[in-house]
C-alpha cells in the first residue's frame, strides 16, 4: 500500500500552482507599491506567544493549535496565524529602532486543527501585512486601500469590504457589560459555544452562525453606539479617507473577529461566491498588542487573507502557463536544429516545448495543442534546406516562413506584430 498524505494537508500541483504564483506575485508587486517589505518568520514558535497574543479564550488557542513538547522539553506550536510571529520578530530585532513605522508582509503556511472542508484545511496558507507605529486613521485607510487594490489587480470584483470598530480598553468594557446584560435573559437561546463563552468572550455571539444566536442577538446593542469620543472620531476619519480615494465599504457592526487583540478598526473582505457569506481576508488594528508582547507602546494594524479562498475565487480564470512556442520538426536533421534552437531561445527568455521523441508531425501537433503554445514553429526538410522554418501565431491563425535565427524568432514571439 502506498503512503498517502495527511488529511487536511494538501499538495499544490502543476496547473494549480500557477494560480498561487500569480496571487503571490500580485501581492509582492502591489504591496511593494505601498512600501511594504517581506518578512520571513519561522513556522514553529513558543506556545506562550500565541496564548498571550491571540488570547486564551479563543477557539484557536483552546482547540485548534498544533502544539507539542519538543525533545528539549519546550512547549512549541506550529503557527496558527502570522501576526504574532511578525510582532515577536519586530520586537526581538528592534525594528522600531530603525523606524517605528514598519510595513511588513508575509506569506506561507499556517496550521490549525479544524474540520477540513472546501477551502479550509489544516495546513492552509495566508498572505498578510502589518503596519506599525501609526495612530492616525490614515494607516487604517492605507492598509484597506492596499488590500482592495490587490483584489482589483487580480481582476476580482468580489470580495467586498466591511468595516467595524471594536473600541478600545477605555470603551469596550462598558460595551461588553451592556451586551452581557442584554444576553443574560437570552442565554437559553444561545448555542453551546456562545453560552460557554458568555463570560470570557460574549461578543462572539454577534457573529455566530447558529440560528438561535442570530435570532437572540437580532436587536442587540451596537458596539458603534458605545464608542468613546476618540474611537468614534477614529472611525469617522477612517471612513473619510476611504471615501476620498474611492475605496468602497459597508459598515457591519456585528463583525467581532475571533482574536482578542483587536482594537478600534476591524474589517473583513467578504464574498457570497464560496457558499455561505464568508471572509476571504480579515484584520484590524491592534494598539496594545506590541506592548503586551514586551515591545514598545506602538500601535499596529494588519490583515491576513486565506490564499486557498482567493484561489477558489480565481477558479473560473485560466492560469495555466502557456509556452511561448512549440517547435515541431520533421526528420533527423530538423530535429537536431530544433533542439539547438530550443536551447538558444530558452536562454533568450522564451519558454519553449518540443517533442523529445521524434514522433510523427501529427502527434507533435497534438502535443502543441495540448500545451496551447502561443506560437508553433514547424521545421520541415524543404524549409530547412532554405535555412527557414514556418512560424504560426496560434491565436491569430496567421503563419509565415522566416529564417531560422533565435534572435529573430525571440523578437517575433515577444513582440508579435498586430
Ligand atoms: Zn474607545
Ligand atoms: Zn452561538
Per-residue pLDDT reduced to its tens digit, 77-99: 999 999 999 999 999 999 999 99
Give the Å distance between the CA of 208 and the centre of ligand 2.
5
- Under the banding of pLDDT at 50, 70 and 90, the label for residue 119 is low
Ligand nearest to the CA of 223: 1
Q: pTM for the full model?
A: 0.82
**54-68, 138-152, 190-204, 299-313: the lowest-pLDDT one:** 54-68
Give the Å distance between the CA of 300 and the centre of ligand 2.
30
C-alpha distances (whole Å) from 51 to each of 72, 111, 172, 301 are 20, 15, 21, 19
Give the Å distance between the CA of 18 and the centre of ligand 1.
44
Residue 272 confidence (pLDDT):
83
Residue 319 confidence (pLDDT):
62
Local structure of residue 117 (DSSP, 8 states): B
Number of neighbours of residue 120 by Cβ within 10 angstroms = 15
Instruction: Give the C-alpha separation, 416 to 396, whole Å.
Output: 10
Collapsed DSSP state (helix, strand, coil) of residue 253:
coil
Instruction: Give the C-alpha separation, 407 to 414, whole Å.
Output: 10
Beta-ladder partners of 117: 120
Give the Å distance between the CA of 197 and the centre of ligand 2.
9
Nearest to 48 by CA among 76, 71, 82, 69: 76
- Mean predicted lDDT score pLDDT of the chain: 91
Give the Å distance between the CA of 263 and the centre of ligand 1.
8
Give the Å distance between the CA of 72 and the centre of ligand 2.
40
Question: Under a CB-based contact definition with an 8 Å cutoff, are residues 128 and 102 in contact?
Answer: no
| Percent above pLDDT 70 for the chain | 97
DSSP secondary structure letters along 47-101? HHHHHHHH-TTSHIIIII-EEEE-TTS-EEEE-S-SHHHHHHHHHHTTHHHH-S-
C-alpha distances (whole Å) from 316 to each of 21, 155, 275, 319 are 16, 11, 15, 9
Q: Calculate mean pLDDT across residues 316-324.
A: 71
Instruction: Give the C-alpha separation, 336 to 374, whole Å.
Output: 22
CA angle 291, 294, 295 (to 5 degrees): 60
Amino acid at each position: 500500500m502506498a503512503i498517502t498524505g495527511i488529511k487536511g494537508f494538501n499538495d499544490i500541483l502543476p496547473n494549480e500552482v500557477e494560480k498561487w504564483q500569480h496571487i503571490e506575485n500580485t501581492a509582492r508587486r502591489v504591496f511593494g507599491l505601498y512600501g511594504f517589505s517581506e518578512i520571513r518568520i519561522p513556522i514553529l514558535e513558543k506556545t506562550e506567544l500565541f496564548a498571550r497574543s491571540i488570547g486564551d479564550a479563543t477557539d484557536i488557542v483552546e482547540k485548534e493549535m498544533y502544539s507539542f513538547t519538543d525533545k528539549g522539553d519546550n512547549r512549541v506550536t506550529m503557527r496558527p496565524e502570522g501576526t504574532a510571529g511578525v510582532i515577536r520578530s519586530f520586537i526581538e530585532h528592534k525594528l522600531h529602532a530603525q523606524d517605528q513605522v514598519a510595513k511588513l508582509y508575509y506569506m506561507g503556511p499556517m496550521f490549525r486543527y479544524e474540520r477540513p472542508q472546501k477551502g479550509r484545511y489544516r495546513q492552509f496558507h495566508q498572505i498578510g501585512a502589518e503596519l506599525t507605529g501609526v495612530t492616525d486613521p490614515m494607516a487604517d485607510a492605507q492598509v484597506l486601500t492596499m488590500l482592495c487594490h490587490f483584489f482589483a489587480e487580480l481582476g476580482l470584483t468580489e470580495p467586498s469590504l466591511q468595516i467595524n470598530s471594536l473600541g478600545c480598553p477605555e470603551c469596550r468594557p462598558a460595551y461588553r457589560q451592556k451586551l452581557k446584560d442584554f444576553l443574560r435573559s437570552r442565554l437559553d437561546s444561545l448555542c453551546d459555544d456562545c453560552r460557554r463563552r458568555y463570560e470570557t468572550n460574549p461578543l462572539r455571539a454577534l457573529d455566530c452562525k447558529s440560528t438561535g444566536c442570530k435570532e437572540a442577538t437580532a436587536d442587540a446593542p451596537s458596539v458603534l453606539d458605545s464608542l468613546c469620543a476618540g474611537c468614534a472620531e477614529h472611525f469617522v476619519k477612517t471612513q473619510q479617507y476611504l471615501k476620498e480615494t474611492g475605496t468602497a465599504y459597508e459598515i457591519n457592526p456585528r463583525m467581532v473577529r475571533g482574536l482578542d487583540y483587536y482594537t478600534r478598526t476591524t474589517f473583513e473582505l467578504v464574498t457570497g461566491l464560496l457558499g455561505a457569506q464568508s471572509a476571504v481576508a480579515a484584520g484590524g488594528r491592534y494598539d496594545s498588542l506590541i506592548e503586551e508582547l514586551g515591545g514598545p507602546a506602538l500601535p499596529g494594524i494588519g490583515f491576513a487573507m486565506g490564499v486557498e479562498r482567493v484561489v477558489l475565487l480565481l477558479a473560473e480564470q485560466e492560469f495555466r502557463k502557456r509556452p511561448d512556442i512549440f517547435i515541431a520538426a520533421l526528420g533527423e536533421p530538423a530535429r537536431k536544429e530544433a533542439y539547438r534552437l530550443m536551447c538558444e531561445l530558452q536562454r533568450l527568455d522564451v519558454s519553449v516545448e518540443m517533442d523529445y521523441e521524434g514522433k510523427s508531425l501529427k502527434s507533435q501537433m497534438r502535443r502543441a495543442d495540448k500545451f496551447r503554445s502561443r506560437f508553433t514553429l514547424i521545421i520541415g526538410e524543404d524549409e530547412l534546406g532554405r535555412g527557414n522554418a514556418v512560424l504560426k501565431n496560434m491565436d491569430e491563425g496567421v503563419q509565415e516562413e522566416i529564417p531560422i535565427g533565435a534572435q529573430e524568432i525571440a523578437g517575433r514571439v515577444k513582440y508579435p506584430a498586430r
